[in-house]
Chain A
């Protein structure tokens, strides 16, 4: 029975070990095949709906018909193996990469790269939303000494070839964003009071925060940024107060008391 459910191909195209009529009873109003079709129809419609919930921005970007096509093929290729629906789309970005329409062509199109990045970003957000951690209230003041700053327990950085975070925010804020052209972008995602915060950031900020993610203190992160990108330390120190205020306001930092 399961084999008849998990592929959305027409019944006549599925190799069955026995006729449906030999397994399922007909009723007063429906044939055996019609009874089974109720399950078949609901299986794909139900999971497609979950995919749309999990990939809201991607569904907007692709349009309903194309999204449905990709989602149905994905569910055929990677049927769920988990008791939780929250991981249903875990391999969707990978699937889009594997099945990109320009695969094998020398000249690549741009839009598949955008869709793949967007799918990966949306799935990442759903994981971050439910990430296990002890959330700490943000009690950082703007004049908190640098050595008492550390990154928030839920803090993730993203680097994309398209303005993914901005596009995503545009979709959820219903601003009807256009499909973007390639443009390197950086973003940070935090969670405070169990709600996500999304922020587009600059490349230098991304690398600075990446250094802190690797364990650097504020000073060490600045040093490594200067070294890696040949920045002038004086200029970095000049803009640091502005960065610090922005990072604290965005909830990137929590209080750290060195032992």
Chain B
């Protein structure tokens, strides 16, 4: 790793733990502005605000004055073979300059090639070639943004025959090569583990825990043969158990509850987040039950319609 990479590592390990956070959603704008709820911090979807000259940006400015904020992106497309989008990166940097986030995160994924954007977090082939490609791009992004970037493990629904590296090792190599950080999405590990036949607890144990600066927890939908990462309900008990394991191994890092579909009233959302406190101390035994309510197939992964502006009157 270069000296600049070392600097990013040093920056990373000195990042604060702001506590328990919630995703900032337009449905809750008024509630937050009026009631100043006792939430430790908010995670904002960068793309919801970076082009906004209207209410979303106006609200974000006020939120950022009152709460610590983290910027979470869905469009960096670090695994794509298209060139990095300089226009996007420039706007991301401008927004960061305004909001002063604790850190900026995105996903280990690609969203499209040949200029198309699927608006999905697509899985990458995990091998030496892709590792080199992605690390080169992470270095470029971090140098442009002049800060370390934090990468999240996505929920995946397939694995490639060309993959030769386990995802947990791939993520570790990324951090070692670039100084980037990790956002451990515990629910995604559970979802991917079920879908792709690996043990989620093993995955979490293998990660470089000192590089994990944040965790995500969320609800999912079990479809019998597979699990969809729907972010539309309460966190499953098995995911809470995994969270407990991750909390112990990381010694506790910033934790955020994602809820992007069927978004409840703010107090319900906040109450679900606070359940995390019950899983921050040791629990006897570690066993995943696999007991879930089974749904029909009509569910969608990574819901994104909350990324479309809700026009206000």
Binding site for B on A (CB under 8 A): 1-2, 5-6, 22-25, 27-30, 32, 34-36, 38-39, 41-43, 45-47, 49-50, 52-54, 79-86, 88, 125-126, 129-133, 172, 191, 194-198
Contacts and interface: CB of A to CB of B under 8 A. Distances in A.
Contacts of A45: 298, 300
Interface residues of B, number: 50
Interface string B65-85: 000000000010000000001
Contacts of A41: 297, 300
Given A22-B161, A86-B308, A29 B225 contact: yes
Nearest to B56: A130
18 contacts: A2-B118, A23-B162, A24-B159, A24-B160, A25-B159, A27-B196, A30-B225, A38-B195, A38-B228, A46-B119, A46-B300, A47-B304, A49-B303, A50-B119, A50-B305, A50-B308, A84-B51, A194-B58
A46 B309 contact: no
Top 8 A-B residue pairs of the complex, sorted by shortest distance between their CB atoms: A132-B53, A194-B55, A83-B75, A35-B158, A130-B54, A38-B157, A29-B225, A49-B305
Contacts of B122: 1-2, 5, 39
Interface string B38-61: 000000000100111111101000
Contact of A129 (B55, B118, B158): B55
B172 interface: no
A129 B312 CA distance: 8
Given A38-B157, A38-B301, A129 B120 contact: no
Given A39-B122, A196-B312, A30 B116 contact: no
Contact of B118 (A6, A35, A195): A6
B10 interface: no
Contacts of B52: 130
Contacts of B302: 42, 46
B303 A126 contact: no
B262 interface: no
Contact of A5 (B58, B118, B197, B305): B118
Contacts of A130: 51-56, 309
B119 A47 contact: yes
Nearest to A47: B119
A211 to B, nearest CB: 26
Given A46-B301, A88-B308, A129-B55, 16 more contacts: A5-B122, A6-B118, A25-B160, A34-B225, A38-B157, A38-B158, A49-B300, A53-B308, A81-B115, A126-B311, A129-B309, A130-B54, A130-B309, A194-B54, A194-B58, A195-B55
A84 B303 contact: no
Contacts of B307: 50, 84-86
Contact of B311 (A27, A46, A129): A129
Contacts of A46: 119-120, 300-305
B114 interface: yes
B18 interface: no
A137 to B, nearest CB: 13
B101 interface: no
Contacts of B297: 41
Contact of A81 (B50, B117, B313): B117
A25 B51 CA distance: 39
Contact of A27 (B55, B118, B195): B195
Contacts of B88: 83
